[in-house]
Amino acid sequence: MKWIDIKAGFWDFWNEFKRVRFGLSGIILLFIFIFVVLINSYIVPFPEASSRWRDITYWEDNPVSAPPVWINWFSSAKRAPSLIIEEHTFSEEKMGKIKLTKAVFEYEYPYDLPPLDVIFHGYAKGSPVIMLSIERPDGHIIELVRRPISKSDGKKVRVSIGKDSRIESYNFGAKYEKPESNRIEREMVKPTSVLFSEAKEGILVYPSPLKGTYKLIAEIILPGENDEVVDIYFTFSGGVSGWLGTDSSKRDIWSGIVAGVKWALLIGLLTAFTAVSIGVIYGVMSAYLGGWKDSLMQRIFELFIGVPLLPVLIVMSAIFKPNIWIMILMMSCFFWVGPVKTVRSMGLQIKEETYIEAAHAFGASSSRIIFKHMIPLLIPYSFASMALYVPSAIVYEASISLLGLGDSTIVTWGQILRDALTGGAVINGLWWWVIPPGLFIALMGMTFAFIGFAMDKILHPKLRTR
Amino acid sequence: MYWKYCIKRIVYGLAIFITLIFIFSALFNTTMESTLRSQIEEEIRGETLKLDTRMTPEEITRYISERREFKRHLYHLDKPIWSRIVWRAINVLSLDFGKATIMRSSSGESDVWTIIAECLPRTVLLFTTAIFINIILGLWLGLKKAQRAGGIMDKTTSIGTMIVYGMPSWWLGMLVIMFFAYTIKIFPSGGLHSVPPPTGFAYYIDLFYHMALPVLTLVLIGFWGSAFLIRNIVLGILQEDYIMAARTRGIPERKVLYGHAMRTAAPPIVTMALLSLLASVGGNIIFEGIFSWPGLGNLYWIAIEQNDIPVLMGNLFITTALYIGGLVILDLIYGFLDPRIKVGGRQ
């Protein structure tokens, strides 16, 4: 078979494939998935999610178990989303040797429920003093935190208003609160809920939101000549966060899901490709060689058929602790039996064709006949079965990950579901943590099922209609 | 000649099982032996504590090494590697899986076989019930689809088949629990029965009540696939000449479908039902863990969590036996239903 034949065959196949509507939607979905892998870092807020999924410092500014942002569209009480504000007006004053810088960040607050925390970030050099205050829409200016930094050498500074300004915000609220409500525990008051509420009676107990533009002011005293605080910004950990919310370890689920796409594609395609290639070659060889070789190969094949796949994979993963590549290899070692039976019977038919006889008469070697004359005819079938093996490979990997036996250096959908199961997402009803990963597994499975079934339909036209 | 075919098939299945057991024994030999060694050390430590306190340190050391020698000999650890593998395989074949390191059966025994034997019927109960319902629903829908192939109902349900094709059953299980057990709270979230279990007839009611959610999940995932396969089988048969002949003779369509088509379709459908039961054992078994259904699948979860290697291995051996047993039964039933097979046999 020459290249031009393959090309012509491909176009014929494609012309027929185009007419199967769900097959086309499968192809489109597949391209969307590949596209998502390519633009991965542009569509997620945390592009390093794949490599730092288990690094808690990477996720520390996120809220715990926050629902997705679009929850606000359906609920009457709007929650403030997670946000990063970098834009600010900057001014500098010199008093002798000491410098005083002032950065003002504007924060629009049209929500009903305040963010859970507001965090100041920067990189400090020398021994600066950082003072944070907030100017509310009603004109009140509240001094929140005063944080001296000692002899830092460009290290990261992180000041959490939610943790460090409990007293200040309580005192502010207490001025307006009735004396009897004043007895409420200071530890019970959330600073952000006081700061973003109307200054009137009930601010500590039943706060009502004060909407408008807030100014967060970061004043920094720089005592030394070379002292500086650079790259300053505020992060808001909101009541809602990201497109798919966060989990109980503050990780952004959308970033995790997107990072999982490439692993799912890799696991599925590589396993299916390896397994089906082995299976097709094995089946054809068994059919062509015949005799005792065929019998022996069939006995080995039947041995593999008798293996319950998932239990063996589980035990092997539990004992050998494989990484993802070994796991793909392990799955391929058991998946190849799938196409063998069909391929062998097809091979037995092809073997009787006259051109095979002719090739044989010309003195072509067995390997030449198998690879040049028999396998090319089985290529359409192989692709169809390959497409149908992709979902099972993904599901098997996910099942092994669900038991906690997955490769812990990567992030797959199965591992996210494992975390959801052990993190109590099912019991606490954190649906945004449970539904998306499985939905994506199902979606990926559906994509390849569409493609595979469409090919199947073309290959077996008898089943189309009566 | 059917019984001859039966015997041949059973012997053949046994041969495959025995070979697999040998392969597993060889594959997991290192891990199992290191577990065995630490179990021996544990036992000896227990024995030393009970020793006479007046013994001198030398005597104690000698005693320990003697005991260690003895136990190693008992467990064949002093033999060459191939004989250890053979010994282990033979042990497994005589259902002697050793003792669990941590896990206990409900009566407090640490014998692995007792632990597994306790779980086995529960798995069989759950999956056979689910497959049974599956096939009934699948038959109903599949016949409908085959009758109007290419129609709107056929198309939409085929899309349904593809949607659930790559859906993990345990994920659906998580959703079902989240909704039915924690949101609207009409079903228990898991387990075999309430604590304490009711007695008499109420026990069975309670059991089925607890089985409802896992069975529902398995059916929701499974019946699309069975419907699709039954449709393809029946559709293939409906195109045969004798069906055409029956139709031209004016036999009513219902009779053609149930009397003529279904008769030929029965063997492949039975095969399919058993195959999907086997596929559940091979691919769905950890699904039990989500529902804390205390069967073999749940045992994998616990054994892995507690790192109990003997239970894990014993479980694997039993699952394999179950699986191969299923394959053999499948062939026997198929041979029974399809006379061509038992006469011709394999070439």
Best mutation target, A294, A307, A317, to test chain B (most B CBs within 10 A) = A307
Which of A395, A399, A434 minimises the CB distance to B166?
Answer: A395
The pLDDT value given to residue A180: 65
The tokens describing A315, both together, are 């035990």
**Secondary structure, 3-state, chain B:** CHHHHHHHHHHHHHHHHHHHHHHHHHHCHHHHHHHHHHHHHHHHHHHHHCCCCCCCHHHHHHHHHHHHHHHHHHCCCCCCHHHHHHHHHHHHHCCCCCECCCCCCCCCCCEHHHHHHHHHHHHHHHHHHHHHHHHHHHHHHHHHHHHCCCCHHHHHHHHHHHHHHCCCHHHHHHHHHHHHHHHCCCCCCCCCCCCCCCCCHHHHHHHHHHHHHHHHHHHHHHHHHHHHHHHHHHHHHHCCHHHHHHHHCCCCHHHHHHHHHHHHHHHHHHHHHHHHHHHHHHHHCCHHHHCCCCCHHHHHHHHHHCCCHHHHHHHHHHHHHHHHHHHHHHHHHHHHHCHHHHHHCCC
Distance CA B81, CA B76 (A): 10
- The residue among B283, B220, B304, B288 whose CA lies nearest residue A393 is B283
Strand A152-160 relative to strand A89-95: parallel, antiparallel, unpaired? Answer: unpaired
Partner-chain residue, chosen from B158, B166, B170, that has the shortest CB–CB distance to A402:
B170
User: Which chain A residues contact residue B301 at CB under 8 A?
Assistant: 403
Q: Cβ B162–A463 below 8 Å, yes or no?
A: no
Q: Do A22 and B162 touch (CB under 8 A)?
A: yes
Report yes or no: A131 and A218 within 8 Å, Cβ to Cβ.
yes
In the DSSP assignment, the letter for residue A197 is B
Contact of A409 with A394, CB cutoff 8 Å: no
Mutate to test the interface with B, among A399, A412, A456 (most CBs of B within 10 A): A399
In chain A, residues with a C-beta closer than 8 Å to the C-beta of B229 are none
A67 CB-side CA count, 13 A: 13
User: What integer best gives the mean pLDDT of chain B?
Assistant: 84
DSSP 3-state of A209: strand
Q: Please tell me the predicted confidence (pLDDT) of residue A325.
A: 93
B29: its two tokens: 């030999």
- Tell me which chain A residues have a C-beta less than 8 angstroms from the C-beta of B235: 462-463, 466
For residue B75, what are the contacts with CB-CB under 8 A and spacing of at least 6?
Answer: B36, B40
Tens-level pLDDT at each residue, chain A (466 residues): 567 777 887 788 788 888 888 888 999 999 999 999 998 888 888 888 888 888 888 888 888 888 888 888 888 888 888 888 888 888 888 877 788 888 888 888 888 888 888 888 888 888 888 888 888 888 888 888 888 887 777 788 888 888 888 788 888 877 777 766 656 666 777 888 888 888 777 777 778 888 888 888 888 888 877 777 888 888 888 888 888 888 888 888 999 999 999 999 999 999 999 999 999 999 999 998 888 999 999 999 989 988 888 899 999 998 888 899 999 999 999 999 888 988 888 888 888 888 888 988 988 888 888 888 888 888 888 888 899 899 999 999 999 999 888 888 889 999 999 999 888 888 888 888 999 999 999 999 999 988 988 888 887 765 544 3
For B284, left (φ over 0), alpha (ψ -120 to 50), or beta? Answer: alpha
Nearest residue in B to A303, CA atom:
B16
Q: pLDDT value at position A28?
A: 92
Contact A438 B168 (CB under 8 A): yes
Backbone CA torsion sign across A117, A118, A123, A124 = negative
Q: How far apart are CA B314 and CA A340, in angstroms?
A: 30
Residue in B127, B161, B162 to test binding to A, most A beta-carbons within 10 Å: B162
Q: How far is B182 from chain A (nearest CA, A)?
A: 6
Q: Encode pLDDT of B308-328 as tens digits.
A: 888 888 888 888 998 899 889
Contact assignment for B282 to A303 by CB distance below 8 Å: no
CB of A154 less than 8 A from some CB of B: no
Whether residue A311 lies within 8 A of chain B, CB to CB, comes out as yes
- The pLDDT assigned to A182 comes to 58
Residue ranges of E strands in A172-252: 212-222, 228-237
Cα A175–chain centre separation? 47
Angle separating helix axes A21-38 and A3-18, nearest 10 degrees:
110
Query: CB-based contact (8 Å) between A29 and chain B?
Result: no
CB B329 within 8 A of CB B277: no
- Give the C-alpha distances (Å, rounded to integers) separating A189 from A66, A183, A193, A240: 20, 11, 8, 20
Q: How many CB pairs under 8 A join A and B?
A: 154
| B347 pLDDT tier (thresholds 50, 70, 90) | very low
Q: Would you tell me which residues 326-345 of chain A have a C-beta closer than 8 angstroms to some C-beta of chain B? A: none
With an 8 Å Cβ cutoff, are A441 and B166 in contact?
yes
User: Which chain B residues touch A315 with a CB distance below 8 Å?
Assistant: 28, 312-313, 316
- Chain B partners of A396 at a C-beta cutoff of 8 Å? 283
For an interface test with B, give the residue of A25, A299, A385, A402 to mutate (most B CBs within 10 A).
A402
Separation in Å, CA of B307 to nearest CA in chain A: 9
Six token digits for residue A357: 């006889």
- What is the residue whose two structure tokens read 């176009």? A11
pLDDT value at residue A184: 65
CA atoms of B289 and B174, how far apart (whole Å)? 10
Count the Cβ atoms, other than its own, within 10 Å of residue A132: 23
Q: What is the CA radius of gyration of chain B?
A: 26
Mutate to test the interface with A, among B127, B156, B157, B167 (most CBs of A within 10 A): B167
Q: Which residue has the higher pLDDT, B197 or A319?
A: A319
Q: Which residues of A touch B243 (CB under 8 A)?
A: none
Q: Which two tokens stand for residue B110?
A: 């640490």
Cβ-Cβ contacts under 8 Å for B131 (sequence gap 6 or more): B218, B222, B273, B276, B277, B280
* Alpha-carbon span A106 to A129, nearest angstrom: 22
Please give the Cα distance from A147 to A105 (Å, whole number): 18
The answer to whether the CB atoms of B239 and A462 lie below 8 A apart is yes
Sheet strands (E) in A87-170: 89-95, 98-109, 117-126, 129-135, 141-148, 152-160
* Residues in A touching B238 (Cβ below 8 Å): 466
Q: Does B281 touch chain A (CB under 8 A)?
A: yes
DSSP state letter for A307: S
- Please judge whether A438 and B174 are an interchain contact, meaning their C-beta atoms are less than 8 angstroms apart: yes
Cβ <8 Å between B320 and A441: no
Query: Domains of chain A by range and CATH?
Result: 3-45+253-465 (1.10.3720.10), 69-237 (2.60.120)
Q: Which residues of A touch B236 (CB under 8 A)?
A: 462-463
> Which pLDDT value is given to residue A183?
62
The alpha carbon of residue A294 is apart from the nearest alpha carbon of chain B, in Å, by 12
Residues 6+ apart with CB under 8 A from B304: A314, A318, A403, A404, A405, B312
- CB of A389 within 8 Å of any CB in chain B? no
Q: State yes or no: pLDDT of B278 exceeds 60.
A: yes
Residue A216 β-bridge partners:
A105, A134
d(CA A338, CA A392): 12
C-beta atoms of A399 and B168 within 8 A: yes
Show the tokens assigned to B240.
């045969």
- CA-nearest residue to B173 within chain A is A426
Closest CA to B287 of B218, B197, B196: B218
Q: For residue B102, is pLDDT > 80?
A: no
Are the Cβ atoms of A421 and B290 closer than 8 angstroms? yes
Tokens representing residue B321 in the block? 């036996």
Tell me the three state secondary structure of residue A353.
Answer: coil
Contact A391 B20 (CB under 8 A): no
What share of chain B in percent tops pLDDT 70?
Answer: 97
Residue with tokens 């198309």: B155
Q: What confidence tens digit (pLDDT) does each residue in A366-383 have?
A: 888 888 888 888 888 888
By the 10 Å C-beta count (0-12 exposed, 13-18 middle, 19+ buried), A241 is classed as: buried
pLDDT of residue A281: 92
Whether B284 and chain A come into contact, CB under 8 Å, resolves to yes
Instruction: List the single residue in A with minimal CA-CA distance to B279.
Output: A308
CB B1 within 8 A of CB B336: no
**What H or E segment, with its residue span, contains residue A85?**
strand A83-85
The answer to whether A307 contacts B309, with C-beta atoms less than 8 Å apart, is no
B297-310 confidence digits (pLDDT tens): 888 888 888 888 88
Look at A330 and B55; give whichever has higher pLDDT: A330
Q: How distant is the Cα of A331 from the closest Cα of chain B, in angstroms?
A: 12
Q: Is the pLDDT of residue B154 over 70?
A: yes
CB contact (8 A) between residue A405 and residue B165? no
pTM attached to this predicted model: 0.87
DSSP A444: H
Cβ-based burial of A153 (10 A; exposed 0-12, middle 13-18, buried ≥19): exposed
